[in-house]
């Protein structure tokens, strides 16, 4: 079943922020906190530093009304710079690649900062900044219980 989540980026303090949100909303993570070191190794990708390996790759927390907060650390070593405005994304958890492709095509039209839809180790993913400056992420999970 498709759902919408709010995706937040932090500069190295995602775990602290989400532990705080856990206490505020009185809920538990909906999946285990995943760190960069949990990503399957790809020899074609740059190596992560020891400090980056412990950074949060993904965390999810149900808050209220079926809404979920998701988040990750941005990595300056990968050229990511956190600024207010790029730290919040609307994440669409979709049921099919066709549905994801349809929404991506519409929302990326006239937009920028695009990451084309592609297969990743967790599923089918892409993102864009629409022509109004709103950041969108699209996911079709391989295993619907992953996040």
Q: So what's the pLDDT on residue 123?
A: 95
Q: Which pLDDT does position 147 carry in this prediction?
A: 43
pLDDT above 90: residue 138: yes
Best CA proximity match to 31, nearest among 10, 62, 4: 62
Closest CA to 98 of 109, 106, 90: 106
Arithmetic mean of pLDDT, 88-113: 92
The stretch 106-127 carries a mean pLDDT of 94
Q: What is the average pLDDT across 84-110?
A: 89
Residue pLDDT, tens place only, 3-43? 889 998 888 889 999 999 999 889 999 989 999 999 888 88
Concatenated DSSP letters of 45-93: SPPPPHHHHTSEEEEEEE-STT-EEEEEE--GGGT----TTSSEEEEEE
- Among 16, 15, 22, 17, residue whose Cα is nearest residue 36: 15
d(CA 19, CA 31): 14
Domains and CATH numbers, the chain: 3-141 (3.10.180.10)
Q: Please, which pLDDT band fits residue 85 given cuts at 50, 70 and 90?
A: low
Q: What is the pLDDT of residue 39?
A: 87
Statement: the pTM of the whole predicted model exceeds 0.85: no
Per-residue pLDDT, 144: 55
Question: Mean pLDDT across the chain, nearest whole number?
Answer: 88
In contact, 136 and 107? CB cutoff 8 Å: yes
pLDDT band at 146 (very low <50, low <70, confident <90, very high): very low
pLDDT band (50, 70, 90) for residue 101:
very high
Counting every residue written for the chain, the total comes to: 147
């Amino acid at each position: 079943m498709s759902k919408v989540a709010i995706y937040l980026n932090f500069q190295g303090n995602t775990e602290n922020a989400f532990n705080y949100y856990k206490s505020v909303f009185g809920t538990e993570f909906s999946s285990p906190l995943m760190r960069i070191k949990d990503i399957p190794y790809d020899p074609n990708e740059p190596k992560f530093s020891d400090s980056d390996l412990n950074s949060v790759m993904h965390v999810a927390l149900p808050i209220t009304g079926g809404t979920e907060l998701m988040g990750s650390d941005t990595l300056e070593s990968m050229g990511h710079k956190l600024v207010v405005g790029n730290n919040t994304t609307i994440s669409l958890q979709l049921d099919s690649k066709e549905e994801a492709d349809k929404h991506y095509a519409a929302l990326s039209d006239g937009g920028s900062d695009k990451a084309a839809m592609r297969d990743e180790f967790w599923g089918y993913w892409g993102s864009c900044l629409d022509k109004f400056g709103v950041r969108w992420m699209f996911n079709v999970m391989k295993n619907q219980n992953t996040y």
